[in-house]
Amino acid sequence: MPHERNKDPKNISRRQFLRDAGIVVGGTAVGSAFILTACGEEKEITKTVTKTDTVTTTAPGTTVTQTATETATKYVCPVCNEEFDSLDELKNHFESEHPDDKEIKDELDRVVTYTVNGHQYVLQVDPQETLHDVLREKCGYLSLKDMCTGWGACGSCTVIVEGKPILGCMALAREFDGANMETSEGLAQKKHPLIDTYVKHYTMQCGYCTPGFIVTSKALLDMNPNPTVEDIRDKLAGNLCRCGTYPQHIPAVQEAAEILQQGGE
Ligand code: FES
Ligand code: FES
């Protein structure tokens, strides 16, 4: 039986709600991320620090003042409030300084960081959660689909992780702490040529499978900028299309390859 998803939202406990909601999203610096202490108190474990540098240069007759502002995320120990530059440093600190606080340690162990399409996320994930579920339901990347109900058979949940296409439904979210990921949303934002060539060559009908094909094709072009028809067929073999658009993917990928080779976008 496929794994269970979308449990009745009315049945969710306050603890579960806070766990899932206290998780967060950001730009270059992440927003707030919370964990729960044993007594149910929420503790913030991230904070955004803004640093402003002002440089004044003077030349005869002129004075120029320039201001640069940088934001960064600090990770804060929920017990002693000490600040760290990374989640790993915070976890190491907690293990050495607060080894008896098992409940908070368990909560901290569930926290992971991802970079998705250039955005940083700090998330609490459960051991059984898949990357597909977390990226879709907690980060909001709806391009990840689920055509085969999580059986690893269709490729519609494909996401690029550290340059390689992987099936999000077959990957446990916890195993990707610190990973860099790309989804179709990121490729559309960057105006990757595949987006236009997929439209131009009528590579979709209902479009449900399309994001999975596009990210797989993108990973292929990154690894092999000049793929043959056989290369394309081979790499896209794990992506299924119920509408039967298969022949159209070949020219779409080939044209995107040409555009990229000419240095175009
Ligand atoms: S939903 Fe992952 S392969 Fe089908
Ligand atoms: S375009 Fe409909 S499933 Fe592929």
Q: In degrees to the nearest 10, what's the CA dihedral of 11, 12, 15, 20? A: 170
- Tens of pLDDT, residues 174-191: 999 999 999 999 999 999
What mean pLDDT do residues 38-54 have? 79
Percent of the chain with pLDDT over 90: 65
Give the pairing type, strands 83-84 and 119-124. unpaired
From the alpha carbon of 241, which atom of ligand 2 is closest?
4
**What is the torsion angle, in degrees rounded to the nearest 10, for the CA atoms of residue 109, residue 161, residue 159 and residue 89?**
20
Radius of gyration of the chain from its Cα atoms, rounded to whole angstroms: 22
Give me the pLDDT at residue 14, please. Answer: 38
pLDDT of residue 61: 78
Please report, as a single letter, which amino acid is at residue 4.
E
pLDDT at 10: 44
pLDDT at 264: 66
Q: Ligand 1: does its nearest atom lie under 6 Å from the Cβ of 150? A: yes
Quick check: CB of 148 below 6 Å from ligand 2?
no
**Rounded average pLDDT over 226-248:** 97
Which atom of ligand 2 is found nearest the CA of 244? 4
For residue 242 and ligand 2, the question of a CB distance below 6 A is answered with yes
Rounded distance, CA 83 to CA 89, Å? 9
| 96 Cα distance to chain centroid | 30
Q: Is 119 helix (H, G, I), strand (E, B) or coil?
A: strand
Q: What is the pLDDT of residues 64-115, one digit of tens each?
A: 888 888 888 899 998 899 999 999 999 999 999 999 988 888 889 899 999 9
Could you tell me which residues come within 8 angstroms of residue 110 by beta carbon, excluding any fewer than 6 positions away? 35, 124, 125, 126, 127, 174
pTM of the shown model: 0.80
pLDDT at site 32: 59
- Hey, what long-range contacts does 28-35 have (CB within 8 A, 24 or more apart)? 28/71, 28/120, 29/71, 29/72, 29/73, 29/120, 30/73, 30/113, 30/120, 30/121, 30/122, 33/111, 33/122, 33/123, 33/124, 35/78, 35/104, 35/107, 35/108, 35/110, 35/111, 35/124
State residue 223 phi and psi, 5-degree precision.
-85, -30
Q: What is the pLDDT of residue 18?
A: 38
Selection from 126, 123, 121 nearest residue 3 by Cα: 126
Is the minimum distance from the CB of 204 to ligand 2 under 6 angstroms? yes
Residues 45-71, mean pLDDT to the nearest whole number: 81
Asked if 202 and 137 touch (Cβ cutoff 8 Å), the reply is no
What is the band of 30 on the pLDDT scale with cuts at 50, 70, 90? low
Pick from 220, 247, 215: nearest CA to 232? 220
Q: Distance from the CA of 211 to the center of ligand 2, in angstroms?
A: 10
DSSP state of 265: -
Residue 8 has pLDDT above 60, yes or no: no
pLDDT of the residue at 137: 93
Ligand 2 atom nearest 204 alpha carbon? 1
> Is the predicted pLDDT of residue 120 greater than 80, yes or no?
yes
pLDDT, position 9:
41
What confidence score (pLDDT) does residue 11 get? 45
For the chain, the first-to-last Cα distance in angstroms comes to 43
| 3-7, 52-56, 126-130, range with greatest mean pLDDT | 126-130
Most confident of 38-42, 88-92, 227-231: 227-231
Count of alpha carbons within 13 angstroms of residue 164, beta-carbon side: 5
In the sheet with 158-161, reading across from the earlier edge strand, the strands are 24-25, 119-124, 111-116, 180-182, 158-161, 164-167
**HSE (side-chain half, CA atoms, 13 Å) at 1:** 3
For the chain, which domains are there? 9-50+67-124 (no CATH), 187-261 (1.10.150.120)
Q: What percent of the chain has pLDDT over 70?
A: 85
